[in-house]
Amino acid sequence: MTDPYVQAHSTAISVRDLVVNYGERNILNGINLEIPAGQIMVIMGGSGVGKSTLLRCILGLKKPTAGSIHMLGTDITTASTREMYRIRKKMGVAFQGGALFSSMSVAENIQLPLREHTQLDEKTIQIMTRIKLDMVNMLPHEHLMPAELSGGMIKRTALARAIIMDPKLLFFDEPSAGLDPITSADLDALIIMLKTIMNMTIVVVTHELESALKIADHIAILGDGRVLETGTPQQIRLSQTTAVQNMLNRKPRETVVDPEAHLKLLVGNNY
């Protein structure tokens, strides 16, 4: 059933019946998700539930086993390379580890999409680079190489590169992972600002609860290869789903262990 909140907004990305298997392992099992345009959608879930796999499918970096993903009106699971590149020119991605090109400086990393996709003169490229670097507070560090940057600086540079072409869609993979609380809060504020100022559709994949509740217009919680719950942060807080409540309350997994069977698992049949 489509969420009333989602119905109020036009859909930027629509994931339908998505299945992903790695060999015989099933990672995603029938994911259905509508991502509204101009909003921040946070995809949450514990480690290993398939958040990053879902993001890779949405980015077109992984072909799903079954299902479809409609992005800006095109089914990217069947799109040609040319169509895919046309869509990708409208999106920006900030990867978990930054994925900055190690042979290029901060400024060169950010300028790359402009140099490859536009005919802008050098002066304009420099100005645009400085504007984006200023937005992420990286202007004083434009000449540094990625190896000279801290974790937070790498994330901010990756963000500047992701927004250099003023994309319609912006994706973040674990933006707060490994950052101190203040840098993390800075990044959250930046994400909200991008939505407000540039009217971007933003998809954030994270397991940082505090950050998710702060920035999200809409949250989808993954578990067991499917979407357990979707809704606004308020709706998610009030969710009655046990797995969601366990996650919100940081409750450890309750596993019933049969001592006999567990011993057998550890030592085999040789006891």
- Using CB under 8 A as the criterion, which residues of the chain lie in contact with another protein when the complex forms? 56, 59-61, 85-86, 88-89, 91-93, 95-97, 99-102, 112-113, 116-117, 161
Closest CA to 97 of 24, 177, 22: 177
Q: How far is CA 18 from the centre of its chain?
A: 17
Q: Which is nearer to another protein, 136 or 244 (CB)?
A: 136
Q: How far is the CB of 57 from another protein (least distance, A)?
A: 13
Q: Which is nearer to another protein, 112 or 139 (CB)?
A: 112
Q: Which is nearer to another protein, 108 or 217 (CB)?
A: 108
Q: Which is nearer to another protein, 88 or 195 (CB)?
A: 88
Query: Encoding tokens for residue 43?
Result: 């995809």
Q: How far is the CB of 9 from another protein (least distance, A)?
A: 24
Q: How far is the CB of 175 from another protein (least distance, A)?
A: 14
Q: How far is the CB of 94 from another protein (least distance, A)?
A: 9
Helices (H), 32-180: 51-58, 81-88, 106-117, 122-135, 151-163
**Region of residue 92 (phi > 0: left; psi between -120 and 50: alpha; otherwise: beta):** beta
Please state, in angstroms and rounded to a whole number, the distance separating the CA atoms of residues 138 and 135: 8
Q: How far is the CB of 109 from another protein (least distance, A)?
A: 9
Q: Which is nearer to another protein, 174 or 208 (CB)?
A: 174
Q: How far is the CB of 4 from another protein (least distance, A)?
A: 32
The angle, 0 to 180 degrees and rounded to 10, between the axes of the packed helices 106-117 and 122-135 is: 130
Q: Which is nearer to another protein, 104 or 144 (CB)?
A: 104
Query: Encoding tokens for residue 184?
Result: 């993390």
Q: Which is nearer to another protein, 69 or 221 (CB)?
A: 69
Residues 19-43 as b/e (b if ≥16 CB within 10 A, e otherwise) read: bbeeeeeebbbebbbbbbebbbbbb
Question: Cβ–Cβ contacts within 10 Å for residue 47, how many?
Answer: 7
Q: How far is the CB of 113 from another protein (least distance, A)?
A: 5
Class of residue 65 by CB neighbours under 10 A (exposed 0-12, middle 13-18, buried 19+):
middle
Q: Which residue in this structure is represented by tokens 């060169």?
A: 108
Contact 173, 202 (CB under 8 A): no
Q: How far is the CB of 112 from another protein (least distance, A)?
A: 7
Q: Which is nearer to another protein, 97 or 178 (CB)?
A: 97
Residues 222-258 as b/e (b if ≥16 CB within 10 A, e otherwise) read: bbebebbbbbebeebeebeeebbeebbeeeeeeeeee
